[in-house]
Structure 1
Amino acid sequence: MNKIITGLLAGALALSAAPAVLALDALTLQLKWVTQAQFAGYLVAESKGFYDEENLDITILPGGPNIAPEQVIAGGGADIIVTWMAAGMAARESGVPLVNIAQPFKRSGLMMICPTETGITEVADFPGHTLGVWFFGNEYPFFAWMNKEGIPTDGSAGGVTVLQQSFDIQPMIQGQADCISVMTYNEYGQALDAGYGPENLTIFNYTEMGNDLLEDGLYVMEDSLDDPAKVDAYTRFVKASMKGWQYALENPEEAAQIVVDMDDTGAATLEHQLYMVGEVSKLVDADDPALNMETYDRTVQALLDQSIIKATPEGAYTTVVTDALK
């Protein structure tokens, strides 16, 4: 009996002396769109184990045309979302208290393209034409631009007709719209594949025109920031994500393959994802996730001018996470 007790005691002491295995902090990330290289940093961080290194268990949820990240997080389906600032601020004013905690994308990838046969060579040529615009929160930069130019968007004389565009270039190819919205890293590549390019397109680049509003940022619910443990988890998440972005931009071929491998739908192709990584690299600052206040102020002013939001937001961003990474 004494031998049994001694054996059990020794086992207990051995267990108590073993290093404690900490439970991983679970976070769910909701992407703004389907699995693609627009989100390469997060997908690479997951694939390469960078989140594990930060004691995080990350679930990444793909988005899609019928998924609004703002609604997902409001319903408790995510801890962090990737969304455009215009959509985030509009949601905040409507009662979903979103807060920007980091801004990896520093520049806009949004453009509008018009085939030369439409005769459109400058903004002054827009009136009387149909322009394709994405909705579900993606329409705000366009309406802010038109407001800045003084061009009505209700189809009236001297204005433009707005077509709620599908998330591809078909409205241009099928002649449903004279100009369409594209992202430099996605639909513009589709246009190139279809035989379009600078030689037969008029291209309006939102960034080059000074009409860029902040796009893919990381947002959380405001009340979660009252929990120091949650803030710590967010900080480790952003740290690992930026490591993922750095790796992706330095290793584009591997990053593109990781995106393809993680796309459960099988729709992602290696060639297109490699193109996307290259274009996204022009928009992301992999060394600095902090919010640029000049671009933030311009985004806010554009939203106010268009009455997309009615008042200057208070508490719509925090630097607590990015400050901790300096």
Structure 2
Amino acid sequence: MKTLLTGLLAGTMALAALPSAFAADALTLQLKWVTQAQFAGYLVAKEKGFYDEEDIDLTILPGGPNIAPEQVIAGGGADIIVTWMAAGLAARDTGVPLVNIAQPFKRSGLMMICPKENNINTVADFPGHTLGVWFFGNEYPFFAWMNKEGIKTDGSPEGVTVLQQSFDIQPMIQGQADCISVMTYNEYGQALDAGYGPDNLTIFNYTEMGNDLLEDGLYVMEDTLDDPAKVDAYTRFVRASMKGWQYALDNPEEAAQIVVDSDETGAATLEHQLYMVGEVSKLVDANDAALDMTTYDRTVKALLDQQIIKAEPEGAYTTVVTDALK
């Protein structure tokens, strides 16, 4: 009897250990900004159970004006971050070994808009004016553009004055800046709601001008790529994320509602998130998570030209994850 009880006890303990033995891989994703449809693919994938299907236990952390994803992951607060490549490469250049593992966003959503009453119709009209620019890593495309055009950004008469812009269109409405930065999927929608549009705005689209630098990509710390189990977890994460992006783009109304429901602050509205999903769909390729090398090279060159990074980056991206998805 004692032998039987001992065997039963051992079996019970073995069964109790099974959940931990086969537990899903826990990963934390730090978003670049607040909960909104810019990140619909990840929010949808979590809500629809796509990460669960890949044995990924994902925690999604919203960003904000005082949160730098590069600092969060460097401090161990996240496994993966969403950030713009210019910010990622700049961080790598200063000692944070970030590596791009996937690039769902293939095109830039960045624009600069100027009310036509300010008499700014071409880039040549910029000198002497104040231009609104976001910082926290978002300023690099603007300075690369000005460097390319040979326009100083020091506030001199032959240059422009740079206003550190809030993340809305108020600097334009209040007359603090002659032109402001907007994203096609966010602040431009706010401008449309305020009565602005192509008829009364001069619009400078970074992509159309050939000045687009890579935006929302997925980045991890370099040393984690030495662990095959971690690489496998990243691969499953990206696979589920791309499935989430495809579902979001195919079902914009449901995706927008998922975003609203995921926003714990209550700030997201269904109408605006639906607009955002529609605009983001023009930038994301849900069928291809691979990094486009032409745009990568352009991004690197722009950062080198303005000396934001000091040397050609080595090891700043890997194809090991996206190759495994093929």
How would you bin the TM-score normalised by the shorter chain?
over 0.9
4+ long deviations beyond 4 Å: 4-21
- Structure 2 gap segments, 5+ residues each: none
Structure 1 position 55, deviation (Å): 0.5
Find the counterpart in structure 2 of residue 122 from structure 1: 122
Structure 1 position 157, deviation (Å): 2.0
> Aligned AA for 2:163?
L
Structure 1 position 13, deviation (Å): 5.7
Q: Distance in 2 between matches of 1:323 and 1:77?
A: 27
Q: Distance in 2 between matches of 1:165 and 1:17?
A: 57
- With 303-312 and 133-142 compared, the bigger mean Cα shift is at 303-312
Partner of 2:39, secondary structure, is helix
Find the counterpart in structure 1 of residue 69 from structure 2: 69
> Aligned AA for 1:304?
L
> Aligned AA for 1:316?
A
Find the counterpart in structure 2 of residue 195 from structure 1: 195
Alignment of 1:215-294 (within 5 A): 215-294=215-294
Q: Please state if 1:153 is matched with 2:171.
A: no
Q: Please state if 1:112 is matched with 2:112.
A: yes
Alignment of 1:31-180 (within 5 A): 31-180=31-180
> Aligned AA for 2:58?
I
Q: Distance in 1 between matches of 2:9 and 2:87?
A: 57
Find the counterpart in structure 1 of residue 23 from structure 2: 23
Q: Distance in 2 between matches of 1:99 and 1:168?
A: 30
Partner of 2:82, secondary structure, is strand
Q: Please give the per-residue CA displacement for 1:100-147, whole angstroms capped at 9, x wherever unaligned.
A: 000000000000000000000100000000000000000000000000
Q: Distance in 2 between matches of 1:223 and 1:65?
A: 28
Find the counterpart in structure 2 of residue 322 from structure 1: 322
Structure 1 position 6, deviation (Å): 4.5
Find the counterpart in structure 2 of residue 297 from structure 1: 297
Instruction: State the Cα RMSD in Å.
Output: 1.6
Alignment of 1:198-213 (within 5 A): 198-213=198-213
Q: Distance in 2 between matches of 1:149 and 1:17?
A: 67
Partner of 1:285, secondary structure, is coil
> Aligned AA for 2:206?
Y
Structure 1 position 310, deviation (Å): 1.2
Partner of 1:144, secondary structure, is helix
Partner of 2:105, secondary structure, is coil
Q: Distance in 1 between matches of 2:182 and 2:157?
A: 26
Structure 1 position 18, deviation (Å): 11
Q: Please give the per-residue CA displacement for 1:189-227, whole angstroms capped at 9, x wherever unaligned.
A: 000000000000000000000000000000000001011
Q: Please give the per-residue CA displacement for 1:141-173, whole angstroms capped at 9, x wherever unaligned.
A: 000000000000001121000000000000000
> Aligned AA for 2:152?
P
Q: Distance in 1 between matches of 2:286 and 2:142?
A: 27
In the comparison of the two structures, how many residue pairs are matched? 324
Q: Distance in 2 between matches of 1:120 and 1:17?
A: 71
Partner of 2:296, secondary structure, is helix
Partner of 1:131, secondary structure, is strand
Structure 1 position 32, deviation (Å): 0.1
Q: Distance in 1 between matches of 2:136 and 2:289?
A: 25
> Aligned AA for 1:227?
D
Q: Distance in 1 between matches of 2:14 and 2:219?
A: 40
TM superposition score normalised by structure 2: 0.96
Change in 2 beyond 3 A, CA 1:15/1:210:
same
Structure 1 position 16, deviation (Å): 6.4
* Percent of residue pairs identical: 85
Q: Distance in 1 between matches of 2:162 and 2:235?
A: 41
Structure 1 position 24, deviation (Å): 1.0
Structure 1 position 19, deviation (Å): 11
Q: Distance in 1 between matches of 2:8 and 2:235?
A: 40
Structure 1 position 17, deviation (Å): 8.7
Change in 2 beyond 3 A, CA 1:10/1:165:
same
Q: Distance in 2 between matches of 1:84 and 1:224?
A: 20
Q: Distance in 2 between matches of 1:162 and 1:18?
A: 61
- Structure 1 gap segments, 5+ residues each: none
